[in-house]
Amino acid sequence: MNRRMFLRALRTSAAVAATVTVFAVGSASAEALRDDWCKDVKIRFFVGGAEGDGFGVIVYNGAVQAAHDTGAQVEYVFSGWNAEKMVQQLREAIASAPDGIAMMGHPGDAPILPLAEEASKAGIKMMYQNVDVPEVRKQFGGGYVGAQLEPQGYALGAEAVRRFGLKAGDKAIVAANLDDTNRAVREASTMKAFEDAGLTVVHLQSPVEWAADPNLGIPAFTAAIQANPDVKIIAYPGGQLLGTAPTYMEAAGKKPGEIINIGFDTSPQVVEAFKNGWVQLTSDQQPFLQGYMPILSLCQQVVYGLGATNVDTGAGFVTTDNYEAVATLATEGLR
């Protein structure tokens, strides 16, 4: 065989080998793909709010999409953001012996710890969303899907000071349920950011019931604004209240932009408030992911034996300059 024939044969052999290799890899990938791969797994998923709740709807939509994509059997639990109710519902969920539970962390470490231990002994996988429970996860495992509340809250306050040129002596009202220590760390951090910038901070206690029915806050917000006529900015503890800011402002006799309104989350109501000049800044924590990722992770843990997933869903700020980019998705209940 001369040199030319040898090189031609070598090229032919390499091409055949490459073809065989590609075919083998393709076959392996095809075999790994499965429809409804999580169809035998039963999951209890805590939505957090009541049915139809502005924030809860997005969480729920994410969970429903995950159930559709994985085939998991998911039962949804609605709690109206009531921490005591969540604890009782968690107790009931463990008693029903599902394969996995995706739990809102609002009750905090202490109430959840003994139930997490019970779930661990029963072989039930746990995930937590929206509010972290670090001590629970340290002792009994489980992942967390949600924003890192303390830095998120501080970043919102610092961004507002920078963006709106707030200065020492300016007055801010921060609505927060400081009785809920795990959950309130975010708003407490916003207060600290304001205080670090020299602002005068007025705390408005925001009961959990306001999240379920934001209109309950109308008298309190009106009174707070009247008592502090020089207030420059109001920070709200969630999308339900932020989306109701136009109602609070109108009840207090204020026009769009007369008081800066900021907070957390997006929703159809928040987007409309941006559009009409009532809201100027919000920190997006992507609640759709808080619905989707816990179910995906539970399926991966139960079916494939993978470790629990941890995802920081904080996505930065939505402002008057960029809110239109998320408007359609927000209207569809996805952002």
In the chain, where are the structural domains located? 42-147+286-314, 149-283
Instruction: Give Cβ neighbours of residue 198 (< 8 Å, ≥ 6 apart).
Output: 167, 168, 169
Beta bridge pairs of residue 203: 174
Beta bridge pairs of residue 54: none
CATH superfamily of 42-147+286-314: Response regulator (3.40.50.2300)
Confidence (pLDDT) at 28: 52
Report residue 54's pLDDT band, with 50, 70 and 90 as the boundaries: confident
CATH 3.40.50.2300 fits 149-283, yes or no: yes
What's the alpha-carbon Rg for the chain, to the nearest Å? 25
Report residue 38's pLDDT band, with 50, 70 and 90 as the boundaries: very high
Expressed in angstroms, the distance from the first to the final Cα of the chain is 68
If one counts every other C-beta atom within 10 angstroms of the C-beta of residue 192, the result is: 17
Question: Mean pLDDT in the chain?
Answer: 91
Distances (CA, A) of 96 to 91, 126, 267, 316: 9, 14, 33, 38
Among 6-15, 40-49, 76-85, 187-196, the least confident range: 6-15
Are 20 and 77 within 8 A, CB to CB?
Answer: no
Confidence (pLDDT) at 129: 98
CA distance 45 to 204: 31
Q: Which residue do the tokens 């998991």 mark? A: 72
Q: Which residue do the tokens 């002596």 mark? A: 169
User: Each residue of 84-131: pLDDT tens digit?
Assistant: 999 999 999 999 999 999 999 999 999 999 999 999 999 999 999 999
pTM: 0.86
| Higher pLDDT, residue 26 or 268 | 268
Amino acid symbol at 332: E
Confidence (pLDDT) at 31: 66
Amino acid symbol at 88: Q
Instruction: Give Cβ neighbours of residue 333 (< 8 Å, ≥ 6 apart).
Output: 57, 58, 61, 268
Mean pLDDT of 318-332: 93
Strand locations in 64-133 (E): 73-77, 100-104, 125-129
